[in-house]
Structure 1
Amino acid sequence: MVVSVHLVYGIYDLIVQIRADDLDTLKKGVTEHLRSIEKIRSTMTMIAVE
């Protein structure tokens, strides 16, 4: 689930915060949903552990 989206300046255009129950759900969300958007050329995933 997308928690927040921030426009940023520099190398990247957006920071999208996603919350997922497990790594498989996160992977599916990024690969099947975010990367399927035509204008998205690349993604970088950073995982925060609470």
Structure 2
Amino acid sequence: VVSVHLVYGIYDLIVQIRADDLDTLKKGVTEHLRSIEKIRSTMTMIAVE
């Protein structure tokens, strides 16, 4: 996890994650973030720059 920002609106948090590849990103999101009881859903957006 690089950073976490509390935001107003439809989402509660923006969590910036850095991963070496898509498999590592998928594992981090599915096994770590989604395993936190209070997290109901996630949306992954990949920056191109």
Q: TM (normalized to structure 1)?
A: 0.95
| Correspondence for 1:16 | 15
RMSD over aligned Cα atoms:
0.6
Shift of 1:7: 0.1
Q: Deviations over 1:21-46 (max 9, x none)?
A: 00000000000000000000000000
- Unaligned 5+ segments in structure 1 are none
Question: How far apart, in 2, do the equivalents of 1:26 and 1:49 lie?
Answer: 15
Aligned length: 49
Q: TM (normalized to structure 2)?
A: 0.97
- Unaligned 5+ segments in structure 2 are none
| Correspondence for 1:45 | 44
Which structure dedicates a bigger proportion of its chain to strand?
1
Q: 4+ residue stretches of structure 1 with deviation over 4 A?
A: none
Percent identical among aligned pairs is 100
Shift of 1:11: 0.5
